[in-house]
Amino acid sequence: MEIIFLGTGTSQGVPMIAHDPGDACDLTDRRNWRTRSSAHILMGKTAVQVDAAPEFRLQCLWNDVRRVDHFILTHGHADHIMGMDDLRRFIDLRDGEALPVYGTEEGLERVRAIYPYAIRTRPEFKGYPAFVPEVMPSALAVDGGRIRSTLLPHGRIEVLGLVFEENGSGRRLAYYTDCRELTEEAYRLADGADLLVLDALRPHPHPTHMTVDEAVATAKKVGARRTFFTHMTFMVDHERANRALPEGMAFAYDGLRVRL
């Protein structure tokens, strides 16, 4: 199994207009240039795309993403959904066969509202996208493995937490972005995971995300072999913040590939 972190950022804040410039990350470090969060996961030969950030097209070019077999939308917020039209290139590769879009009821409602022209089994014109919305089941079997899902609290809505289990190797990866905390079920599903990916927005509290300290405490409780944090604002300087993390934990950055 392999995860490519296509994007590890958020829509919140811009460093050069920060209230306190001392808070901002060092923009001479490329790892602080974060596009919005999305991830590409390979299980065997199967390519699963999780979310499509506004920069999805560029993320695919930068990371040599050539195929999407399955698409899962964690939730309907703009930073995760606004790149979905660019899935068209992968639908074209499927000879125009619609791509199932797995999500929550909330997420799928947003997909229908933003992309009404794409809700069909074949594209309206060649090269256009075509999506078939499907509520994500608690376990989805795909070639190469299985994807379990659970709901995580994110303010007024819930977000899909995903646990990938690869056939053969038995490796397990939990991907929990955009959450205020984990539920008992989320802890149970991630128990014994080889890799945990967790929301760590910024140092100070936020009503719908975890702070860095909260994410570290949560990661300790999960106890995965390795943890990477994602969905950071400009207030997290990669080099400085990474040094302060316990062993086995690190901040992800755009373009990072982790094999497990």
Q: Which residues bind Zn ion (CB under 5 A)?
A: 77, 79, 178
Least Å from the CB of residue 51 to Zn ion: 8
CA distance 161 to 40: 15
Which residue sits closest to Zn ion, CB atoms considered? 77
For tokens 């205020």, the residue is: 180
Least Å from the CB of residue 100 to Zn ion: 22
Least Å from the CB of residue 38 to Zn ion: 10
CA distance 253 to 37: 10
Nearer to Zn ion, 1 or 179 (CB): 179
Q: What angle is formed at CA 201 by the lines to CA 230 and CA 218, rounded to 5 degrees?
A: 75
The DSSP letter of residue 119 is B
Please count the other Cβ atoms lying within 10 Å of the Cβ belonging to residue 64.
8
CA distance 82 to 142: 25
Nearer to Zn ion, 145 or 251 (CB): 251
Least Å from the CB of residue 188 to Zn ion: 23
The answer to whether 159 and 148 are in contact (CB under 8 A) is no
Nearer to Zn ion, 79 or 237 (CB): 79
Nearer to Zn ion, 163 or 179 (CB): 179
Least Å from the CB of residue 137 to Zn ion: 22
Nearer to Zn ion, 78 or 244 (CB): 78
SS3 sequence of 148-195 = EEEEEEECCEEEEEEEEEECCCCCEEEEECCCCCCCHHHHHHHCCCCE
